[in-house]
Structure 1
């Protein structure tokens, strides 16, 4: 069928932006296609049925009658999609027309394209999958966060440190604010080398001003929080009245105190003053030189401190509590 509906976005090639010559996509120009999507200066020739199967917007568009005098290209009507980008559609069409049976974790760029276009053109299945990936990758509970971190699996392909910056921007763009605390926490806690790179670029606009403030505030807050919660058991200087190590039941307090000092200096010496480990998993090496009682008490304080840090995490980065933050999600 060569007919297609007339839409407000449709125009002839002559009416296209004359500043950029039209080009045909090398990858997505199919001889049996019956609709041409024009995005910026690129044209894609695809099948109406492929778009209609997933999208109610395209399904309704193609159901409208096409005027007899509607200009066509090689017998195909042209739909000019204003406001979209060529890159988003290249990424999106690669999902609609896959070249491999192997399912790989999507990049942040692909997620962004899928979320933008699936919302605009109503591809509910794709949008649901993308949102599920983001919420699972960056959950709102410590149990889910620990499960993903300890197993090492990921639903998103991180290509570089800039992937996190792009994720922050994407979360704000689509109104998925509940994933931001976990994104920031992972940047600071589990990807220390990339975090150093991020910090070095903050001065040259690596983050937007709206993103830079919560990130830096959270960094400073986590430094303070971990000393009084997760790592309060390392209080060998006596800053806190209820330091658990050495324990009252400890049979070798001098040895355990020396062990605590060693761990504290290894983790937070002056050479590594920015070391954020507020949500790190317990390392068995930390307690290997402690007596059984002190090791048990230290880990109990550590676990309770991590739970407290997690509950405070939204506040740490300047957001409301978890429940209110989830309620603010647009999705």
Structure 2
């Protein structure tokens, strides 16, 4: 249903005197230039090759195209990327990335979309080597409680390959924030599917790390890594392992170490040979954990997830 003229407002930032097309989003009108829209968007390029109906509404001689299903806020952010006011901008906000990904998918703007997708993929990679090369910084402005919006965005735009790393970071690096939400079934901030994936992930990752990265803590005679064959401390190294096991067991919630690097404190009381053996087991197990990370959350393997990404 068309809005009354009295309810329409012109954008104060994106109403160009030389514009030749008006996009109406909700109650806001943007007067833009067809050639610029066509340069960035295949959808608009194709749209503008078609003749406009004779009864097409106009404002100051420019045809008006009503875009349903979009928000004026998303379009304002999107146009900010299309018409940058600065040569080099600071890190984009998550809100800007979200708006660009929504609209660049709908209006087929591949360059904008690919840039934002690469940012998310660099932050939540599918390769362990890339994860290890990343630092603590993000490719967008860091915000409080930002991982749940990213999770929702990934599902909305079909970016499946970032989900395993994202889930795992939420349950490890950000466990103080997200673990209580996962465990509280009355908290509606998690969808049923996400809560199920995370609950499944907690159980599977704890089991997986006990069989891989933390297998050096096993005191089973047949599978024990410690004492190593060339151990020079014998029972002292075994006692050190028992102490580590007790220390880890005292935690209110067991820690998940599948993405962490080796913790030097673990090897403090081990002899050189046992410490080397434990680190080897941990390093090898970490690779195994990474390969099995998607399955821990009930997802397909890395290759399948990448093939499902809608890029």
TM-score (norm 2): 0.89
Tell me whether 1:317 sits opposite 2:303 in the alignment: no
Match of 2:210 among 223, 227, 231: 227
Tell me whether 1:171 sits opposite 2:157 in the alignment: no
- 28-37 vs 285-294, greater mean Cα deviation: 28-37
Match of 1:205 among 183, 188, 205: 188
Match of 2:140 among 132, 153, 156: 156
The unaligned stretches of length 5 or more in structure 1 are 1-14
Asked whether the 8 Å contact 1:282–1:302 carries over to 2, the reply is yes
Shift of 1:147: 1.4
Partner of 1:275: 255
C-alpha deviations, 1:187-236, integer Å up to 9, x for none? 1222233334543665321111122211111112112222221112223x
Give the count of matched residue pairs: 311
Asked whether the 8 Å contact 2:77–2:96 carries over to 1, the reply is yes
Superposed structure 1 runs of 4+ greater than 6 Å apart: none
The unaligned stretches of length 5 or more in structure 2 are none
* Whole-angstrom CA distance in 2 between matches of 1:289 and 1:278: 23
Q: Classify the secondary structure of the residue corresponding to 1:204.
A: coil
Match of 1:297 among 254, 265, 277: 277
Shift of 1:126: 0.9
Shift of 1:313: 0.9
CA RMSD of aligned residues (A): 2.5
Distance 1:73 1:146, change over 3 A: same
Asked whether the 8 Å contact 1:24–1:44 carries over to 2, the reply is yes
Partner of 2:222: 241
Q: Classify the secondary structure of the residue corresponding to 1:249.
A: coil
Tell me whether 1:133 sits opposite 2:116 in the alignment: no
* Whole-angstrom CA distance in 2 between matches of 1:101 and 1:289: 55
Partner of 2:236: 255
Q: Classify the secondary structure of the residue corresponding to 2:29.
A: strand
C-alpha deviations, 1:281-314, integer Å up to 9, x for none? 1122322332110110010111111111111111
Asked whether the 8 Å contact 2:26–2:72 carries over to 1, the reply is yes
Tell me whether 1:106 sits opposite 2:92 in the alignment: yes
Shift of 1:258: 3.5
Asked whether the 8 Å contact 1:137–1:156 carries over to 2, the reply is no
TM-score (norm 1): 0.84
Match of 2:201 among 200, 205, 218: 218
Asked whether the 8 Å contact 2:154–2:160 carries over to 1, the reply is yes
Asked whether the 8 Å contact 1:190–1:280 carries over to 2, the reply is no
Asked whether the 8 Å contact 2:181–2:187 carries over to 1, the reply is no
